[in-house]
Amino acid sequence: MRPDAMGARKTEWVGVARYFVQPPLDPDSLEILAWKDTQTNEYRRFVIAGRIWTIAGFEAQGPARAAFHGNALVIEKCDESTMDFRVGSPSHRMPYRSIGLAPFGDLGKLDHVRIIATPGRLIITSCAGELGRQCRDENLWPTDTQHVVELVEALAQKRAPHEPSAKEVGCYSVPEGRRLQIQGRWLNQLGFKPGMKFGVTAVDGELRVELGVENGWSVTQHSPGSSKLYVPAQSLELLNADKVRVLGREGVLKLLPLAA
């Protein structure tokens, strides 16, 4: 529940959404991730369940709010201070929600509706309306579990932030049983300035030296304008290499076996 526009008593979200109708959604503004059609029952209720919530960015028991836009009922992610309800219940692992359309104008007359997943939103609208007609076959929600999983994974990978490329900055011989010293002005230029803290982790066959780790090791000064740091011997053992390539970008170094 949330307060109505006058800041008075708490009102059920259905009443608020019905009374404060928002402007219609612009069909050209939709970034459609997936869509599917579903049937409503005699009371114009239906359930949205499963991974279609997930690809829109919702989580089970996560906060959500709803707004009626005249041509669609929109459920969107929000923080807890503005939420109308939680998606699902503690007894269910996957997100779900039972929706009733009877209070919402022409939507309440439909025996079939179209559910459109966009980033941060689920849009409920008519199949043949201006929003529904934006949907294309290539975004149709799969009917079998395997293809659903593949779609979710593909969309997650597409949304994953692209990591900036790193440039090779040098090669080092690995001292047996001892830590590796890395030094140079280029370290300073990549943000590894004296006094900064860093951590070392093993990721996919490489070592990553990253700034911003509390209680990590410290970068020290090698000479004016030049920094140095030490990679621990126990971390170097994970590479099992006599020599390593060092690639760097802002705040991050990558150490790889020279043959890699």
* Main-chain phi, psi angles of 85, to 5 degrees: -165, 170
Cα–Cα distance, 112 to 46 (Å, whole number): 10
- Across residues 85-101, what is the average pLDDT? 87
pLDDT of residue 204: 76
What is the DSSP secondary-structure string of the chain? -EE-TTS-SEE-HHHHHHHSPPPPPPGGG----EEEEEE--TTSEEEEESHHHHHTT--TT-EEEEEE-SS-EEEEE--GGG-SEESS-TT-SS-EEEEE-TTSGGGGG-SEEEEEEETTEEEEE-SSSTTGGG--GGGBPPSSHHHHHHHHHHHHHHHSPPPPP-EEEEEEEPPTTSPEEEEEHHHHHTT--TT-EEEEEEETTEEEEEE--TT-EE-EEEETTEEEEEE-HHHHTTT--SEEEEEEETTEEEEEETT-
pTM for the model: 0.58
Asked if residue 121 has pLDDT above 80, the reply is: yes
Asked if residue 176 has pLDDT above 60, the reply is: yes
Kindly state the tokens that stand for 171: 């090669």
pLDDT of residue 238: 86
Q: Which of 61-70, 128-137, 206-215, 241-250 has the lowest mean pLDDT?
A: 206-215
Cα–Cα distance, 118 to 209 (Å, whole number): 36
pLDDT of residue 254: 93
The residue ranking higher by pLDDT, 18 or 227, is 227
Q: What is the pLDDT of residues 149-174, one digit of tens each?
A: 888 888 777 766 656 778 889 999 99
Cβ neighbours for 82, distance < 8 A, ≥ 6 positions apart = 2, 63, 65
